Amino acid sequence: MKTNFKLIFIKFIRNYKIFGGMVMGEVVNTLKVMPESPEVDLEALKAAITDVIPEDAELHEIQEEPVAFGLVALNVIFIVEDGEGGTGPTEEAIIALEDVASAEITDSRRLM
């Protein structure tokens, strides 16, 4: 996965301005979402994921990743504050969706 330095820089500047020079920690996470089957409508699943993202998380991007035999995983990239709770609410909201078989955090990096 390529690191999006532009996103990191924008987040740093935004936090620096908001907190008057004190940069609060944020974490960018990648959640790999496996649909129930290859027949799942990925566009509808992307829309459902977008709708259930909690207020304390910021959705950055949803990427498609071919797995095998027509199955395509979705890599949901989102940002949360570095603190208590972390990715839990976002993971739980996405796993609860009807067409999701599983979801796991595959990458987590602190934004500076």
**pLDDT tens-digit readout, 84-98:** 668 889 999 999 999
**pLDDT tens-digit readout, 4-46:** 666 666 666 665 555 544 456 889 999 999 999 999 999 999 9
Task: Give the pLDDT of residue 24.
Answer: 60
- Domain architecture of the chain: domains with CATH: 25-111 (3.30.70.60)
pTM exceeds 0.85:
no
Q: Can you say whether residue 37 is alpha, beta or left, with left for phi > 0 and alpha for psi between -120 and 50 degrees? A: beta
Angstrom distance (rounded) from CA 111 to CA 80: 10
Which residues touch 97 (CB under 8 Å, ≥6 apart)? 45, 48, 49, 52
